[in-house]
Amino acid sequence: MAGMETVNSNNTKLPGAEIVIKTLGQIGSKQYSAEDALSIVAKESALDTADTVQFGNTVFLANRGTGDNKNKMVGRAFNVDTGKNYINNCLDYLEYLREKGITHYTTMFEGSEVLKLIQFMRRVMEDIDTDIYIAESASGRYTAYFRFGNDSIPRAF
């Protein structure tokens, strides 16, 4: 997130499309051009299984499984909000998923900033029945697995 412009959602709430476009430069610099990344996100969000929702200046895009996996989702976040807001936006999103009957959520990411965020969220949720597991691949990418319980997800701040 270094160098990326943040926009405090307590002051200015951006439209979802603008958030996604602002963050695509970050994604594009790694594997794809910003244009290719935008095309991938557009295709992903157009799928029948897609669920896109915004909390603050964070957009969450996830796809729901089908059949035996209908209560599982895999997704990602596009964020331009401040650090504290991002944490609460993520916790609000997890509560949104839990209330929808989702039992498992998986997200893949790179970088120590997101890792620290998820580790902090795990501490916030240590007294409830939702579990977070984090795995690191040989290439240094991370996967976070969330298994939801019955308790409401608290906010951090």
pLDDT per residue as tens digits for the range 16-63? 989 998 887 665 455 677 778 788 888 988 999 999 999 999 999 999
How buried is 51 (Cβ within 10 angstroms: 0-12 exposed, 13-18 middle, 19+ buried)? middle
How buried is 93 (Cβ within 10 angstroms: 0-12 exposed, 13-18 middle, 19+ buried)? buried
- What pLDDT score does 30 carry? 59
What share of the chain has pLDDT > 90, as a percent? 72
Find the helix or strand (DSSP H, E) in which 39 lies.
helix 34-46
Packed helices 112-124 and 83-99: angle between N→C axes, nearest 10 degrees: 60
- What pLDDT score does 28 carry? 47
Return mean pLDDT, the chain.
90
- What pLDDT score does 119 carry? 94
Q: Kindly report the CATH number that applies to the domain delimited by 16-147.
A: 3.40.630.30
Judged against a pLDDT cut of 70, whether residue 74 lies above it is answered with yes
Tokens of 121: 């969220």
Helix, strand, coil shares, percent, the chain, to 5: 40, 25, 40
How many residues appear in the chain?
157
Phi/psi of residue 155, nearest 5 degrees: -90, 160
Q: Provide the residue ranges of all domains of the chain, joining segments of one domain with +.
A: 16-147
Q: Is the pTM of this model over 0.85?
A: yes
Top-confidence residue, 85 or 140: 85
